[in-house]
C-alpha cells in the first residue's frame, strides 16, 4: 500500500521525536485526526507522563491527552528502534546556542542518528527545529543516508519550521499556516500530503533552505523591531516622553505601521536565539549581519537597563539597591504562560543578586524560580507581602494578578510592561 493510500485510510503511523512545547501539541493534532502516533523521548519521565495521559504542556489539556492515550492513538517510548513502525517522523528537538552564540546542533544530530538505522523504505522525515539555512541538507541528510538509503529515492526529507506561540488563544498548532520545503520536489509533495492530513493550511516553498530562512525572517523581524522600540524607549525617557502613549497613538494609523513594544529583554526559545543562527552562517559567506547583531546587542542590554532604572527609582526614596527587598512580579518570559526559556527575569535576578538585593518573587504560573542553582523564594501576593518590599518590579504582565492591591500596598513599583497603565500613581515608575 502506498504512502498516500495509508494517509487516506489513516493506517499510517506517525512518529514525533521530542515531546516538548512543539512535539506534544503536534502529536495531539495528529491523533485527533485519527492517526496512530508514537512519541519518542530521551526523557523517561516525559514518556511516562504521556503514557499516563498527563500533560505537562499548558496548551495541551490533560483531559484531551488522556482521551487520546486511552483510545491507543498516542503512546510514548524511549526505544528509538520503534522508528521502524513509522511512515513519517517529525524531529522536534531544541537547537540552542553555545556560550559563543554559535548553533548547537547536537540534539538534532542525536535525534537523527537514533532513528536513522531503523527507517524503512519510503519513510518521510521532517525537521521542525529552528536552525540556519542549509542544516537539513548539510547535517541531517548525511546522517539519514549513512545507512544506505538515499533521500529522494528511498527516503523523503523536508524542513517545516515550528510556529508555536505558547498561550495564544487564537492561533495554535492546527490553524497556524505550515511552511514546508523538501530536499526534492517529491520530498516537498510528500511532506505537504502528510501535514495536510491534520493541519489546516500548508504553504509549500521551493527548498529546505527557503523554509529554514522563512523561520529566521519571522523572528529576526520581531527582534529588530523590538530593539528599535527599546532604543526609542531610552531616547523618549531622556526627552520626558511616554513611549507607551506614543505607540498607542501610532497604532491608530490603519496602514504602514505595526505596533511593537519595549520591555525588560527578550525571552522564549526563538526570538533571542534565532537571529544568531543567521549571523553565524552568514560569516561563512563573508557577510556580516551588522543590523541583526546590533538588534541583539540592544535587546541584551535591557536587563542591565532595568536594574539601573530600579536603582535610580530607589534613590528617590533614599534607598540603596544593596539590602533592599525587591519583589519580582512575574518571571515567565511572557504573560499567562509558565515558560521560563530565556526569560529576561533570569538575568535581572542575577544582576539584583550581584548588587546584594534581597530578591523574592511571585508568579502564579511558575512555582519554582532558580537562579545560578539557587532557588529564589516564592511569596504569596498579599498586601502584607507587597508592603514588606522596598520595590515591586513588574517583569511579566500576567493578567490574573491583582494590580490594584499591588499599587495600593507597594512603596514603589517599576513597571517594565506597562501593566499598570490604568493607574495614575506617584508610586508607579514606568520603564
With the C-alpha atoms ordered 236, 241, 246, 248, is the resulting torsion angle positive or negative? Answer: positive
Give me the DSSP letters along 25-61.
HHHHHHHHTT-EEEEE-S-HHHHHHHHTT---STTS-
CA distance 361 to 270: 25
**CA distances from residue 348 to 151, 182, 399 in whole angstroms, order as listed:** 47, 42, 21
Task: Show the cell assigned to 370.
Answer: 532558580
CA distance 38 to 17: 9
Which entry of 86, 187, 223, 270 is annotated as an active-site residue?
Answer: 270
Residue 187 among the catalytic residues: no
Contact 202, 180 (CB under 8 A): yes
Task: Show the cell assigned to 173.
Answer: 498548532
Count other C-beta atoms under 10 Å from residue 101's C-beta. Answer: 14
CA distance 362 to 420: 17
Instruction: Read off φ and ψ for residue 147, nearest 5 degrees.
Output: -105, 20
CA distance 272 to 299: 8
CA distance 315 to 344: 23
**CA distances from residue 175 to 26, 73, 163, 172, 215 in whole angstroms, order as listed:** 12, 21, 11, 6, 17
CA distance 407 to 424: 10
Residues acting as catalytic residues: 270
Amino acid at each position: 500500500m502506498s504512502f498516500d493510500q495509508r494517509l487516506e485510510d489513516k493506517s499510517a503511523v506517525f512518529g514525533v521525536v521530542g515531546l516538548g512545547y512543539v512535539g506534544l501539541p503536534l502529536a495531539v493534532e495528529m491523533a485527533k485526526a485519527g492517526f496512530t502516533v508514537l512519541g519518542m523521548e530521551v526523557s523517561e519521565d516525559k514518556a511516562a507522563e504521556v503514557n499516563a495521559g498527563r500533560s505537562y504542556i499548558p496548551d495541551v489539556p490533560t483531559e484531551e491527552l488522556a482521551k487520546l492515550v486511552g483510545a491507543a492513538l498516542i503512546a510514548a517510548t524511549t526505544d528509538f528502534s520503534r522508528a521502524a513502525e513509522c511512515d513519517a517522523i517529525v524531529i522536534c528537538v531544541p537547537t540552542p546556542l553555545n556560550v559563543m552564540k554559535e548553533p548547537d546542533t547536537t540534539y538534532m544530530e542525536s535525534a537523527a542518528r537514533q532513528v536513522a538505522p531503523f527507517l524503512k523504505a519510503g519513510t518521510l522525515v521532517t525537521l521542525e527545529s529552528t536552525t540556519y539555512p542549509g542544516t537539513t541538507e548539510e547535517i541531517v541528510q548525511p546522517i539519514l543516508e549513512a545507512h544506505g538509503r538515499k533521500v529522494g529515492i528511498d527516503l523523503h526529507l523536508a524542513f517545516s519550521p515550528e510556529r508555536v506561540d505558547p498561550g495564544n488563544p487564537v492561533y495554535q498548532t492546527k490553524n497556524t499556516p505550515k511552511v514546508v520545503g523538501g530536499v526534492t520536489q517529491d520530498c516537498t509533495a510528500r511532506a505537504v500530503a502528510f501535514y495536510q492530513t491534520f493541519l489546516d493550511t500548508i504553504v509549500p516553498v521551493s527548498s529546505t533552505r527557503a523554509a529554514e530562512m522563512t523561520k529566521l525572517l519571522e523572528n529576526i523581524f520581531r527582534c529588530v523591531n523590538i530593539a528599535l522600540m527599546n532604543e526609542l524607549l531610552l531616547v523618549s525617557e531622556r526627552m520626558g516622553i511616554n513611549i507607551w502613549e506614543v505607540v498607542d497613538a501610532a497604532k491608530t494609523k490603519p496602514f504602514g505601521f505595526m505596533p511593537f513594544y519595549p520591555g525588560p529583554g527578550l525571552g522564549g526559545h526563538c526570538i533571542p536565539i534565532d537571529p544568531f543562527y543567521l549571523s553565524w552562517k552568514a560569516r561563512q559567506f563573508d557577510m556580516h549581519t551588522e543590523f541583526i547583531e546590533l538588534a541583539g546587542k540592544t535587546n541584551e542590554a535591557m536587563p542591565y537597563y532595568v536594574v539601573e532604572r530600579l536603582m535610580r527609582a530607589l534613590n528617590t526614596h533614599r534607598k540603596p539597591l544593596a539590602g533592599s527587598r525587591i519583589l519580582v512580579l512575574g518571571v515567565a518570559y511572557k504573560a499567562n504562560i509558565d515558560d521560563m526559556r530565556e526569560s529576561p527575569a533570569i538575568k535581572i535576578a542575577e544582576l539584583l543578586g550581584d548588587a546584594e538585593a534581597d530578591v523574592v518573587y511571585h508568579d502564579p504560573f511558575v512555582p519554582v524560580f532558580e537562579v545560578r542553582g539557587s532557588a529564589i523564594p516564592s511569596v504569596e501576593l498579599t498586601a502584607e507581602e507587597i508592603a514588606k518590599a522596598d520595590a515591586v518590579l513588574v517583569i511579566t504582565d500576567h493578567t490574573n494578578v491583582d494590580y490594584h492591591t499591588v499599587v495600593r500596598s507597594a512603596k514603589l513599583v517599576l513597571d517594565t510592561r506597562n501593566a499598570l497603565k490604568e493607574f495614575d500613581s506617584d508610586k508607579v515608575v514606568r520603564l
